[in-house]
Chain A
């Protein structure tokens, strides 16, 4: 488990070493937090447990709380009878492309808008900010029509193109670059470096925290996206993982072990990333309310 995500309690609200009242041998906050933590853990615990439970247990009423034995049958059926590995590959491809493209394009644009003076800068940036408000519902119909006209529908490209860059990413990087002191870059320019050299050699290495936030934002968004792939991709060879496991709800409705195994495949990578980089994920959450 990674270390706690945020700096520990601030003086503002943490009860300092006040004498404990009512004779509890521990902080009363445990009485709230322990049950809540258990409740929050239940869905994932059930997911892992059900994925390892034999079908005869899962289809018995009442279902036993503890499986009679553990089995990998669910995973066996999943990998044996569905193209889930292909879907996993598709999703990895979409996410990796999205992340690389986001990091490159949004940091370049964010730097340009933060530091360079050029014609059209204000108008361009105003346009970017204005688009942050536009919801996907307004965009999905014309984008679908556009993508069908250029033949992107039903291909993985349809899932990738909307994730190549984002207004949020440009905005995030611009704000970060504005927060850097310009003296370093000016020194570089005076020493005869070009803007490009300054950007790649001086600025970008300082931008690691912002780039990490942007990478996590893009990973979560592109990995978990459902509504757009649902609209744009009907060919199960081009399904993303999310689309694939959703399609099981129609065809494998009562194969709980298989469904939960599929859920594990779709979720475990992100859970592991989260546990490995909790601090950075929390940072990303603070910047973006990615999910409702």
Chain B
């Protein structure tokens, strides 16, 4: 409403309006006093660099000399880059190993831990504690446990007379070892969210099925499992995103070796950006990864909608 609509005589209306405007200003200031510091920090350290990163991806720049604008040159190069293609293959291999295993293990452990049996607290603690292990600690532990000379695994193989393995030093095994240790550190996450979902299922649902004559197994597969589907979709998306971004554990175990067998997309990106100082190319790879991740996420969400699983 503007002042023109009020008759000049109505001084009371002008006063009221002015006080309302002052009140609105006061509320705005108060609101921003609450949200301002965190909002400025979060947006300043994400939206602003993300946009900057996109412009960097259109340049050739080493961080020192004058940046050159090369349009989509970095993206065109990425499509032909054989090393990047190999890194994509390794990342897909890791994702294919890690994601289904983490979902199935999480489901199995959640069902098992959702029991009132002895030692259940102990079992839960043993399975959940590794969640606090950092990538650095997990990496050092991995190189120790899987060391061909001194490691526990080859030590056991040696005692029972089986052939020694190369583990992290064998290009065919290294990624499997990394996937196993990722599972060790993150099984807690999938287990916990499935466990929470199991405990949200109303008991009457299962009881009703049992009264209708279903066996415990039928009730599990036809009543409980469908109730877990939304959580499974969410966990799958989450774990895929994590898997596509694998870096830490590669850095702290193999540094991409042996023979580049564990060089993942993000490891390659990090190397390009911070070892070769190709800031433009690194940004282009990062943006491509981001867009692919978004597409996969949207794809899974749409697919689950069509399958009538309401994950989101």
Interface residues of A (CB under 8 A from B): 1-15, 18, 26-27, 29-30, 32-34, 36-38, 40-44, 46-47, 50, 58-59, 61-63, 65, 105-106, 108-109, 111-113, 116-121, 124, 127-128, 130-131, 133-146, 148, 161-162, 164-167, 169-170, 195, 199, 220, 223-224, 226-227, 230-231, 242-243, 245-246, 248-249, 256, 259-260, 262-263, 266-267, 270-271, 273-275, 278, 281-282, 285-286, 289-292
Q: Are A61 and B245 in contact (CB under 8 A)?
A: no
Does B295 sit at the interface, judged by CB under 8 A?
A: no
Q: Are A275 and B125 in contact (CB under 8 A)?
A: yes
Chain B residues positioned under 8 Å from A124 (CB to CB): 35, 39, 43
Q: Is the interface of A mostly helix, strand, loop or mixed?
A: helix
Chain B residues positioned under 8 Å from A278 (CB to CB): 124-125, 128
Q: Are B159 and A62 in contact (CB under 8 A)?
A: yes
Q: Are A141 and B130 in contact (CB under 8 A)?
A: no
Q: Is the interface of B mostly helix, strand, loop or mixed?
A: helix
A-B contact sample (18 more), CB < 8 A, given A1-B125, A146-B49, A273-B132: A33-B113, A37-B126, A43-B133, A62-B155, A62-B159, A105-B37, A105-B41, A128-B42, A134-B290, A141-B56, A141-B279, A142-B53, A143-B49, A195-B30, A223-B134, A242-B136, A245-B136, A245-B140
* Cβ distance A4 to chain B, nearest Cβ, rounded Å: 4
* A119 closest partner in B (C-beta): B28
Chain B residues positioned under 8 Å from A10 (CB to CB): 114, 198-199, 201, 203
- Bound-state Cα–Cα, A291 to B182, Å: 9
Q: Are B145 and A46 in contact (CB under 8 A)?
A: yes
Chain B residues positioned under 8 Å from A43 (CB to CB): 130, 133, 138, 141, 145, 181, 184
Chain B residues positioned under 8 Å from A282 (CB to CB): 128, 192
Q: Are A227 and B140 in contact (CB under 8 A)?
A: no
Does B283 sit at the interface, judged by CB under 8 A?
A: yes
Q: A142-B56, A260-B144, A286-B192 are in contact. Are A267 and B132 (CB under 8 A)?
A: yes
- Bound-state Cα–Cα, A144 to B29, Å: 33
- Bound-state Cα–Cα, A170 to B260, Å: 40
* A6 closest partner in B (C-beta): B195
Q: A131-B46, A286-B192 are in contact. Are A118 and B121 (CB under 8 A)?
A: no
Interface range on chain B: under 10, 10 to 19, 20 to 34, or 35 or more? 35 or more
Q: Are A137 and B27 in contact (CB under 8 A)?
A: no
Q: Are B140 and A249 in contact (CB under 8 A)?
A: yes
B115-154 interface (Cβ within 8 A of A):
115-141, 143-145, 149-150, 152
Q: Are A26 and B118 in contact (CB under 8 A)?
A: yes
Q: Can you list 30 A-B pairs with a CB-CB distance of less than 8 A?
A: A9-B114, A13-B111, A14-B114, A14-B115, A15-B115, A33-B123, A34-B123, A36-B109, A38-B126, A43-B130, A58-B150, A112-B32, A116-B35, A118-B32, A124-B35, A135-B293, A138-B49, A141-B283, A142-B53, A143-B49, A146-B52, A167-B46, A170-B38, A231-B274, A256-B150, A259-B144, A260-B144, A273-B132, A286-B196, A290-B189
Does B85 sit at the interface, judged by CB under 8 A?
A: no
Q: Are A134 and B50 in contact (CB under 8 A)?
A: yes
* B48 closest partner in A (C-beta): A142
- Bound-state Cα–Cα, A263 to B143, Å: 12
Q: Are B28 and A120 in contact (CB under 8 A)?
A: yes
Q: Are A271 and B56 in contact (CB under 8 A)?
A: no
Chain A residues positioned under 8 Å from B114 (CB to CB): 9-10, 13-14
* A266 closest partner in B (C-beta): B137
